[in-house]
Amino acid sequence: MKRVITLMILTIQAMTTTAQTPEKNSFFLQHPFLWGAASASYQVEGFHKADGKGRSIWDVWMNDKQIGGKGVNGNEAIHFYDRTQYLKDIRLLKQLGLNSYRFSISWPRILPDGTGAINRQAIDHYRLFIKDLRAAGIEPVMTLYHWDMPYNLYQKGGWDSRESIQWFTEYAKVVFEHFNDLVKIYVLSNEMLVETDISLMAEELAAGRKSTLQILPQPENLERVLNQFNHKLLAAAAAAEIFHTYHIPQGEVGMAFPLFPTIAVNTASSAAAAFVDGILNRWFLDPIYKGTYPVDILDYARQHHLNINIQPGDAQRIKQAGFTYLGINYYAPIPVQQEDTSSSYQLIIPQLHNTDYAYNGANRPDQLERLLLRIKDEYGNPPVVITENGAGFPEEDQLLNGKVSDKRRTAYILNHINAMQSAISKGAHVYGYHVWSSHDNLEWSFGYDRRFGMIYVDFATQQRTLKESAIEYGNYIKKENSQKVRE
């Protein structure tokens, strides 16, 4: 482990990043701060067979394999594909004062087989949805891929196959072709790391084996995981190259990464924490901003004879693709502990003492500020949009007398906004903030019990209720806007 870390420090010193001030005419400099919320197609849309939609891996895993339990799936979800329903939802978002909405479009709706024939009905649906958002004064922030890969492509190897780069490029081209007049801000993909992780878990469950979500890839999976990451980054790079050929005025292109500040729980674990940081964070940030993959991780892979299929020029291509901003999904830091007896990669993720825990980890807004300042200092201060931040807590969301008093979520959101504001006051280029999620929805294989929304959803009746967090977030936005007007 020591040797690995030494190498890493050398690399950081040798590498320089160019400071990135946003272009003068960038969307972010021309528009007010984006205050928004986020959702994803499979988690909210329902209508899983409507309008010629193809099947995604999640349709198969949740229906045929029942990985979330019997009857737990996205077939109905929260009816967000239904215009009558989503128009009511847009009205609520507008009422709260949101000026941005991050949503994802479903690849198997647009291209039912993953490649080939285009499904016009899906394009028309999303075009109308975007126009409806715009009519409410809400900027569409469109994610192309939030984990719902067409099943047909999964059967051909999915992200394990280097061909996935071509599949995704074809899909992205169709999207830019049909949406470039309506959408400025594109999020090419969501959380490559967690997606790989959660998909490996789903595969295990689908095969009838027990599995738990491990954010940290295990040594036995690392070869597959790093290869998938490389394919996903290259796919996004190829899509960004195409995006630039459309010359969309004030167009923005990037990806949303789940970044996890690491915390060594004792001094003996600092090398381990740096190593984990290499896999969770630097593996993605370094190619984009430095044009190289982290040497310590590559070195580890070589020492362990992993067959990583990175070709010369891959990392450079990712840098040169010209991503215009960094999307950050922040939930929690990762505490790391090196086991005394182990050699290199037997790490454990301990619980932090005296710390409040949400479903997605420790409630630590201070680590969001640390993360944003790190991006500023180590990666040239690129434009950043917080594409997800939010929390769910067991027993928190009780609908009583028409109210949901979700005090812990409210505090979580406001404290994280304060941490972000503090980083901005210290010079970080942050241009938007999106709560995960606008609504309670399907939390993947965890089902409908893990609520993350600011809008309570009665899943049986589709009735919506604004929670206290929604009202307080709305009040915060209105206060911010009125201060800006006075300045």
Residue ranges binding ligand FCB (CB under 6 A) = 40, 43, 190-191, 194, 258, 329, 360, 388, 436, 443-444, 452
**Which is catalytic among the residues 45, 139, 191, 396?**
191
Number of Cβ atoms within 10 Å of the Cβ of 449: 12
Q: Let me know if 345 is exposed, middle or buried by CB neighbors in 10 A (0-12, 13-18, 19+).
A: buried
**Tokens (6 digits) for 381:** 């201060």
- Which string of DSSP letters, residue by residue, matches 140-173? EEEES-SS--BHHHHHTTGGGSTTHHHHHHHHHH
Q: Helix 270-277 vs helix 295-303: angle between axes, to the nearest 10 degrees?
A: 100
Question: Contact 393/408 with Cβ under 8 angstroms?
Answer: yes
CA angle (26, 32, 38) in 5-degree steps = 90
Query: If residue 371 lies in a helix (H) or strand (E), which one and from where to where?
Result: helix 365-378
Question: Contact 43/340 with Cβ under 8 angstroms?
Answer: no
Question: Contact 98/139 with Cβ under 8 angstroms?
Answer: no
User: β-strands 139-143, 100-104: how paired?
Assistant: parallel
Q: Let me know if 14 is exposed, middle or buried by CB neighbors in 10 A (0-12, 13-18, 19+).
A: exposed
Nearest to 218 by CA among 348, 335, 68: 348
Select 436 or 476, whichever has its Cβ closest to ligand FCB: 436
Question: Contact 35/99 with Cβ under 8 angstroms?
Answer: yes
388 is catalytic: yes
Number of Cβ atoms within 10 Å of the Cβ of 370: 15
Cβ 442 to ligand FCB shortest distance, Å: 9
163 is catalytic: no
Q: What is the largest CA-CA distance in the chain?
A: 62
Cβ 360 to ligand FCB shortest distance, Å: 6
Select 26 or 43, whichever has its Cβ closest to ligand FCB: 43
| Helix (H/G/I), strand (E/B), else coil: 328 | strand
Q: Give the catalytic positions in this structure.
A: 191, 388
